[in-house]
Amino acid sequence: MKEYRILLVDDNSDSLNSMVKFLERSSDKYNAILALNGKDALNIVSIYDPDLIITDWEMPEMDGIELIKTLKENNETKDIPVILVTGVNTMPEDLKKGFETGAIDYLRKPFNEIEFNSRIKSTVKLLESIKEIKQNKADLEESEKRYKSIAEASSEGIIIYNKSKILDVNQNILNMTDYSKKDLIGSPILDIMEPEHYARIVNDSSIGQYEILCKKKDGSSFSAEIKTKPIVFNNEQAIVLAIRDVTFYKEQLKTIKKQSEAMLEMEKEISSQQVQKLESKLEFKKKELMSNAMFLVQSAQKNTKIFNELESRIPLFKQKNQEMLRSFIQKYKNDVSENFWREFNMRFVEVNKDFYTRLNEKYPELTPGQRKLCALLRLNLSSKEIASITYQETNSINVFRTRLRKVVNIDKDENLITFLEKI
């Protein structure tokens, strides 16, 4: 498995340590290189040539945007992919600026380990795909040069002969004519050449170049370009023929052209995918919010089972310890519920930044608890799911929903969730 060099750039040592730990715990192999600002990063890039750079946006001396601009202006570093990290610049216009500068992806602080490693892995895969495309393109260009070079040298099929018989051949001429080496060695050159071309080549022992028809074993023929040169072979005068199948190379050049066109289409598709990625960023945030909410619901349900199990065992303890245990369980429930709301509300505001403002303008009499309930219902969470998250009874949530309907004064036939989605 290849080890990828990843340059981590951040003036916050805690952030650097978090990223390093995430990479160390990943199933893939990464070599983390650290820098505290953009200027240090540029010096490190010239030494280590990293496969990927993850940089914070706001840093002293040189921030992440300036670092990306500098990298893109240098031919030696312009192709290094860069992921931009920020905990402040999270608005759509900020994301647009980062992508237009040259970042290929975006990570938000504080980090989520699963998201962090998933983004790194997908970026590395994209990097490998781009490298493969570039290498294939380079191979195709090199292949085209090689074929042209072979055509100029006319060295694909080799026959060494004297004026009476063939002395030696290479594998390429056997492939062209379908003869075996045993068939040709000792045979007259006329066996693979049309008679009208025979006298010209045999009688001219100097260096020359000709276009002739060569014969195959089955009697068919193909157009060929031949170059001749006198040599000494096994201590006797001989002539070497360098034979090129013109048809073969024309077909190869056609194939190369088609492959090059296909490669250009692949590059266009990658560019299109990058544009679509930018356009779908905000939609992704909405899905991420819902996924996070369902994850928290599942976690809360598991916690509830644990709490229920603990509460069922309270009678097993001495009387003086039972109240202390009940108090501990309740405190833990409250802490878990507060942590959930903090995490949920932060993500909710990112996607629905004006929701609370519009809600307060229309219904200023709502209590903090009712505003929380509005946010949870806007995600179409059921009373049972909300009860799990808040560690309350489902009936209690239904009562709160009824009171909320009265406060916002909606008709009894109107769906409360649909109503909140319109705000």
Per-domain boundaries in the chain = 4-126, 154-250, 283-421
135: pLDDT strictly greater than 90: no
Q: Which of 356, 344, 327, 323 is nearest to 389 (CA)?
A: 344
101 Cβ contact partners less than 8 Å away, ≥ 6 residues apart: 65, 68, 69, 72
The pLDDT assigned to 154 comes to 45
Which class is domain 4-126? alpha beta
Kindly state the percentage of the chain with pLDDT values over 90. 29
Residues 219-233 have a mean pLDDT of 84
* DSSP summary character for residue 245: E
Residues 135-154 have a mean pLDDT of 54
Q: Which of 82, 121, 89, 93 is nearest to 108 (CA)?
A: 89
For residue range 21-65, list pLDDT tens digits in order: 999 998 888 999 999 999 999 999 989 889 999 999 989 889 999
For residue range 263-313, list pLDDT tens digits in order: 788 777 777 777 677 667 767 776 776 777 777 777 777 877 887 888 888
Pairwise CA distance, residues 82 & 77, whole Å = 11
Q: So what's the architecture of 154-250 in CATH?
A: 2-Layer Sandwich (3.30)
The β-bridge partners of 168 are 160
How many residues would you count in the chain?
423
Lowest mean pLDDT among 182-191, 246-255, 411-420: 246-255
Kindly state the percentage of the chain with pLDDT values over 70. 91
Rounded to the nearest integer, the mean pLDDT of the chain is 83
With 0-12 / 13-18 / 19 or more C-beta atoms within 10 angstroms meaning exposed / middle / buried, residue 256 is: middle
> Which tokens sit at 105?
């992806």
For residue range 240-254, list pLDDT tens digits in order: 888 888 876 667 777
For residue range 333-389, list pLDDT tens digits in order: 888 888 888 888 888 888 887 899 999 999 999 999 999 999 999 888 899 888 888
Amino acid at 178: D
Q: Which of 33, 2, 42, 261 is nearest to 124 (CA)?
A: 2
234: left (phi over 0), alpha (psi -120 to 50) or beta: left
> Which tokens sit at 88?
């402040």
**For residues 39 and 62, is the Cβ–Cβ distance under 8 A?**
yes
pLDDT band at 1 (very low <50, low <70, confident <90, very high): low
143: pLDDT strictly greater than 60: no
The pLDDT assigned to 148 comes to 39
Our separate counts of H helices and E strands in the chain read: 16, 10
Instruction: State the angle between helix axes of 394-408 and 383-390 in degrees (0 to 180), rounded to the nearest 10.
Output: 110
Residue 110: cis peptide before it, omega within 30 degrees of 0: yes
The pLDDT assigned to 150 comes to 41
Pairwise CA distance, residues 271 & 105, whole Å = 14
Give Cα 91 distance to the centre of its chain: 24
116: pLDDT strictly greater than 50: yes
**For residues 16 and 37, is the Cβ–Cβ distance under 8 A?**
no
137: pLDDT strictly greater than 80: no
Higher pLDDT, 318 or 203: 318
Residues 147-151 have a mean pLDDT of 40
307: left (phi over 0), alpha (psi -120 to 50) or beta: alpha
> Which tokens sit at 252?
């190869």
Fold agreement (4-126, 154-250): no
